[in-house]
Structure 1
Amino acid sequence: MPLLGFLNPLDNVHKFDPDKDVPDLAGKVIIVTGGNSGCGKETVLQLAKHNPGCIYLAARSPAKYDDAMKDISAAAPNANVRFLKMDLSSLASVKQAADQVIADSDRVDILVNNAGIMAHPHGLSKDGFEIQFATNHMGHALFTRLLLPLMRRTASQPGSDVRIVNVSSAAAHLMTTGPGIYFEKLKTPMEAHNPGVIYGQSKLANVLHASELAKRYPDILSTSVHPGRVETNLTNVMFDANGINGRFQRVFDSLAGALTVQQGALTQIWAATWKRTEVKNGAYYVPVGKENPGSKRSRDVELAKKLWEWTETELAAKGY
């Protein structure tokens, strides 16, 4: 065990095992963003084993989908896993993806907002938002909003169990000073701020978004999760830059260790499938399925409301 392994714990309080504990998913329509690699791919792979009606694997290109399907098809050869083209940094691409789902499906049961970028170099999205906030929050917020009518219709059907899982990060806890969300800077590259802090801001938004979804749409079970520090390609940009964030992460990994992808995906799979009566709407969970109070900022109901209203206003201004 790593010297400081307690800093990246895997406390499987429910003894959750996807092979044994994920129920039959017959007829369910599932969407996983960023399903082509890392925890997203593992989530698709594990859910595909349990007879879903359809899983949409959202990725930016057919090549990424094809590569992921090599392992997914080997694990679940009969699963219906469809490619959904989506670039979360582009609102137009998000709208096209949502339109495809709505045209093809009469229900959506599980939405796992998994995709994201981490400590990315400063920049703006095509729509003029800070690039990490655009990808990690704005894209998912629009995608979720566009699918909500279909998800709510699904939730109104007898025996339904509709869920939204926002994959956040413990980096959300970095936002302990300042406003938490720098609303006045979200349409700038935020070059005066460390990319790691900007990442934390976007991950805080994921938690706040889930809690506000739970409040506004209680018929849908909405949660946010921290997967743990997981060995995926999410940190590649940070390591390649070899700046202070990358060096810190290497030291942390050497002392605390990193979870495998199989371990890192457990909490989001748990949140998507565990007994509904034992999952709290609006809650934040850490590995594996363990409720955590999060930070003071993540529990700020006024900040969650402000983020929701700001997001809605900005999306409307862009024509969505």
Structure 2
Amino acid sequence: MWPFSSSVPFKPATGIPSLAGKVILVTGGNNGIGKETVLQLARHNPQKIFLAARNESKAKAAIASIKSQISEDVDVEHLPVDLTSLPSIKNAADRVISRSNRLDILVLNAGIMAVPPDKTAAGQEIQMGTNHVGHFLLTKLLLPTLQHTAKEYNPDVRVVSVSSEAWNMAPSLDTILSTDKLTARGPWTRYGASKAANIMFAAELARRYPTLTSVSLHPGIIKTDLYLPSIGVNPIVKYGSMVVGPLLFQNIETGAFNQLWAAAGARKEELTNGGYYTPVGKLRKNKWVTDTDAGTKLWQWTEKELKQAGY
């Protein structure tokens, strides 16, 4: 049973082919496994990487750090985006479209975890709004570019949604799709709902746009800044991580392997479109992948939420 089961042998240095000519976008690319993903992809000479992040100073520091570790002069550009703000997401998509007529790899990596109750400006529960709705809108706005890329430049266009095994803590679909019901639940239930939504979104995207390869995945249990809010307020998480952390926590370099494998390491024919993977490259059965009715309802709910906000 994961995390002690075997996985696909993978090392980014040798497992990722040349990315020459490809354009990539990674959300949350300024730290943690997002930054590591940008770094490892940059080492394989893509045409351009958009490092999407909210904080400009942190993004520029990350880009400087990445460039200091690669030999090629890869174009890594900060893409300002706040996933809680629909106008910010629209501006980010417009910027990508104005700077590139192709997008080969979209890694939806950014996220927040187990934070206190709050809502986005558009009214969604904050974790659902950030982790799912924000990424949904970004992908929707970039779909014409992704489809154009698949048709004109590269038949292997990928959208990778970073989910989590926390999907197991998700409530019923009825609660997931009700902001009031979801907001009333605990932080981990709300987080699980957003991670289940990531899985449903990836599967539904694959069904609706089969020319694109869309997968979701669990990166592993990684000691990153995502855990800081929970460690500070939850004694179980705090002391539990001290006891079992050395056994379960991966370092950031290893923690990025699964999404690097899905984004660029695996051959297209190795990936099951719409599938959910645990580290590294292990296809798992998942109820949210196979529940087509749930995928349709989530998609329709998200579209309605966006339409009400003017998007």
TM-score of Structure 1 vs Structure 2, range by shorter chain = over 0.9
Deviation of 1:299 after TM superposition, in Å, equals 2.9
What is the aligned partner in structure 1 of residue 61 from structure 2?
Answer: 67
State the one-letter code of the partner of 1:21.
G
Residue of structure 1 aligned with 2:203, choices 211, 231, 254:
211
Q: Is residue 141 from structure 1 mapped to residue 132 from structure 2 by the alignment?
A: no
Residue of structure 2 aligned with 1:237, choices 202, 225, 229:
229
- For the structure 1 residues 250 and 141, does the alpha-carbon distance in structure 2 shift closer, same or farther, using more than 3 Å as the test? farther
State the one-letter code of the partner of 1:257.
L
State the one-letter code of the partner of 1:309.
Q
Deviation of 1:70 after TM superposition, in Å, equals 3.4
Q: Name the CA distance, whole Å, in 2 between partners of 1:249 and 1:125.
A: 30
Deviation of 1:233 after TM superposition, in Å, equals 0.8
- Contact persistence 2:175–2:182 (CA under 8 A): no
Q: Name the CA distance, whole Å, in 2 between partners of 1:244 and 1:313.
A: 38
Residue of structure 1 aligned with 2:34, choices 34, 40, 44:
40
- Contact persistence 1:10–1:288 (CA under 8 A): no
SS of 2:283's equivalent in the other structure is: strand
What is the aligned partner in structure 2 of residue 308 from structure 1?
Answer: 299
Q: Deviations over 1:279-304 (max 9, x none)?
A: 1100001100111113x344321111
Q: Name the CA distance, whole Å, in 2 between partners of 1:298 and 1:246.
A: 32
- Contact persistence 1:284–1:293 (CA under 8 A): yes
Q: Is residue 151 from structure 1 mapped to residue 146 from structure 2 by the alignment?
A: yes
- For the structure 1 residues 261 and 180, does the alpha-carbon distance in structure 2 shift closer, same or farther, using more than 3 Å as the test? farther
Deviation of 1:246 after TM superposition, in Å, equals 4.5
Matched-pair identity in %? 45
- Contact persistence 1:124–1:188 (CA under 8 A): no
Q: Name the CA distance, whole Å, in 2 between partners of 1:116 and 1:92.
A: 18
Q: Name stretches of at least 5 consecutive residues in structure 1 with no aligned partner.
A: 1-5
Deviation of 1:125 after TM superposition, in Å, equals 1.0
State the one-letter code of the partner of 2:194.
S
What is the aligned partner in structure 1 of residue 18 from structure 2?
Answer: 24
Deviation of 1:245 after TM superposition, in Å, equals 4.8
Q: Name the CA distance, whole Å, in 1 between partners of 2:182 and 2:279.
A: 32
Q: Name the CA distance, whole Å, in 1 between partners of 2:299 and 2:64.
A: 39
What is the aligned partner in structure 1 of residue 254 from structure 2?
Answer: 263
Aligned residues: 309
Q: Name the CA distance, whole Å, in 2 between partners of 1:188 and 1:100.
A: 36
Alignment of 1:91-106 (within 5 A): 91-106=86-101
Residue of structure 1 aligned with 2:268, choices 276, 279, 290:
276
- Contact persistence 1:60–1:87 (CA under 8 A): yes
TM-score, normalised relative to structure 2? 0.94
Q: Name the CA distance, whole Å, in 2 between partners of 1:71 and 1:12.
A: 30
What is the aligned partner in structure 2 of residue 87 from structure 1?
Answer: 82
Q: Deviations over 1:195-234 (max 9, x none)?
A: 0110000000000000000000000000001001011111
Q: CA RMSD in A?
A: 1.8
Q: Name the CA distance, whole Å, in 2 between partners of 1:180 and 1:118.
A: 21
Deviation of 1:235 after TM superposition, in Å, equals 0.5
Q: Name the CA distance, whole Å, in 1 between partners of 2:202 and 2:255.
A: 20
- Contact persistence 1:9–1:287 (CA under 8 A): no
State the one-letter code of the partner of 2:215.
T
State the one-letter code of the partner of 1:210.
A
- Contact persistence 1:131–1:189 (CA under 8 A): no
Q: Name the CA distance, whole Å, in 1 between partners of 2:131 and 2:153.
A: 33
Q: Deviations over 1:58-91 (max 9, x none)?
A: 0112201122123311222411100000010111
What is the aligned partner in structure 2 of residue 3 from structure 1?
Answer: none
TM-score, normalised relative to structure 1? 0.91
Q: Is residue 183 from structure 1 mapped to residue 174 from structure 2 by the alignment?
A: no
Q: Name the CA distance, whole Å, in 2 between partners of 1:99 and 1:219.
A: 23
Deviation of 1:12 after TM superposition, in Å, equals 3.1
What is the aligned partner in structure 1 of residue 117 from structure 2?
Answer: 122
